[in-house]
Structure 1
């Protein structure tokens, strides 16, 4: 009952802070709705709503002026979700194009499910996401802050595989995929900014307690292994991670099980 009441409450104006390293700027809902490049867009097959959605949105490229194409950004949600996104796709003005959708307090978005609030006040959405294979983890909603940071590997050396491995080793490929598809929710070796999901190496790595292919089954569809109505972890389909890529992620996790780091060594 309480959840239903909360989702029915009116939406209030919010603020988004964007920190690009040379000072931060805070945008209000009204300022973003009135931005000179704001426009109405339709998003077919919205990742969060699972249907076509209509938004008032500003191109991310317009909010990230001056950011180098090889930079790295992080979008932080109010629930602790921290999406790591290279700047390049965010700056595209064709193909896969990133937009900041703004929830109008006068016209609030629907809840994401029966007992959950909507994706507002700010939601990073994409037009033509397939063109650049944009991951569902790169659609953060309830965003409160976007900041320019050094790459994950520089900030969190505790995540790094053995330096002796070749660049094209499946473990290194799995590390890249882990950053894109897993790191928004999970830490590893105590390293990371997300506060949403459990650490995947401490105290135990999932490859240490999932036998055979059960870990892959769980990643593909958690409900196929453990049926739980309140489960939050989404399925990762072959469209997001191919079978080969899924194997590479598992190879990275298995490799890191032998590289546990604890204490201050896990922090940058």
Structure 2
């Protein structure tokens, strides 16, 4: 009983002092505590009208992400990793621009915690990448990582994970190439393919089997659009990709990439 009370006290203390965000940009890492970011000279109170995680308007204390990314250039590549293993791959350019779509790091105040994402679920904190006017730059839902723990500058996906690459003999305008780009934007944050990727969230999409091998085409499309409409369970975590996020032409290209990779399995 004493051990339990001690652990609860420790958890309470950690919650009161906030969380730690790690930025791995150069040779050395830099850490930010919640309190430091909440009192940052560039911190602002902002309103996000169409919040991706909460599905409603939300108010945050936030810092423009660009001011924290000292030394990062627009051609660099960044990865934001969440506590649950979600790993969002993002080109740095949109994150650095001052507008019209602007990236903010929302910081949860431990004294005024955000609501849970669902009944019995934790909040999107302690750190959440949100966007003002995301439609202006075509920002996708997977570019809103929440519960972020680390942001790192890395080599592009193509260099780090050659097992993801389609056949180099394909023409430049082949839909499979577009599908590969869409896979990076929409799928790689949760899934690996051929064991390649950093996500720890969802299953591998090629090993041992590719979904194009065991789903009928119409059902696979339905599953991507609305997973709960095909098989419903309370703990499901895969989001749907409606036409506003992934139009029919883009979905065709994504499926072309998956089908192309089915015979390109690697050990």
The normalised TM-score by structure 1 is: 0.93
Structure 2 Cα separation of the partners of residues 133 and 81 of structure 1: 21
Aligned to 2:263: 258
Aligned to 2:197: 192
Question: How far 1:21 moved relative to its partner?
Answer: 2.4
Aligned to 1:231: 236
SS of 1:84's partner is strand
Structure 1 Cα separation of the partners of residues 172 and 161 of structure 2: 18
Question: How far 1:164 moved relative to its partner?
Answer: 0.4
Q: How many equivalent pairs are there?
A: 255
Residue deviations 1:205-252 (CA, integer Å, cap 9, x gap): 000001132111100001111122221111111111100000100000
Give matches, 1:48-127, under 5 Å: 48-127=53-132
Residue deviations 1:47-91 (CA, integer Å, cap 9, x gap): 000000000000011011221110000000000000001000000
Structure 2 Cα separation of the partners of residues 184 and 223 of structure 1: 20
Q: Match for 2:169 among 164, 167, 171?
A: 164
Query: Which residues of structure 1 form unaligned runs of 5+?
Result: 1-5, 263-268
Conserved? CA contact 2:190–2:199, under 8 Å: yes
Conserved? CA contact 2:79–2:88, under 8 Å: yes
SS of 1:45's partner is coil
Aligned to 1:3: none
Structure 1 Cα separation of the partners of residues 217 and 84 of structure 2: 33
Structure 1 Cα separation of the partners of residues 229 and 197 of structure 2: 28
Aligned to 2:186: 181
SS of 1:213's partner is helix
Question: How far 1:175 moved relative to its partner?
Answer: 0.1
Residue deviations 1:27-66 (CA, integer Å, cap 9, x gap): 0011111111000000011000000000000001101122
Aligned to 2:30: 25
SS of 1:246's partner is helix
Give the superposed CA RMSD. 1.2
Structure 2 Cα separation of the partners of residues 55 and 253 of structure 1: 38
Structure 2 Cα separation of the partners of residues 208 and 77 of structure 1: 30
Conserved? CA contact 1:43–1:53, under 8 Å: yes
Conserved? CA contact 1:133–1:240, under 8 Å: no
Question: How far 1:162 moved relative to its partner?
Answer: 0.1
Poorly superposed stretches of 4+, deviation over 2 Å? 9-12
Query: Which residues of structure 2 form unaligned runs of 5+?
Result: 1-7
Q: Match for 1:152 among 145, 157, 166?
A: 157
SS of 2:217's partner is coil
Residue deviations 1:144-166 (CA, integer Å, cap 9, x gap): 00000000010000000000001
The normalised TM-score by structure 2 is: 0.93
Question: How far 1:183 moved relative to its partner?
Answer: 0.4
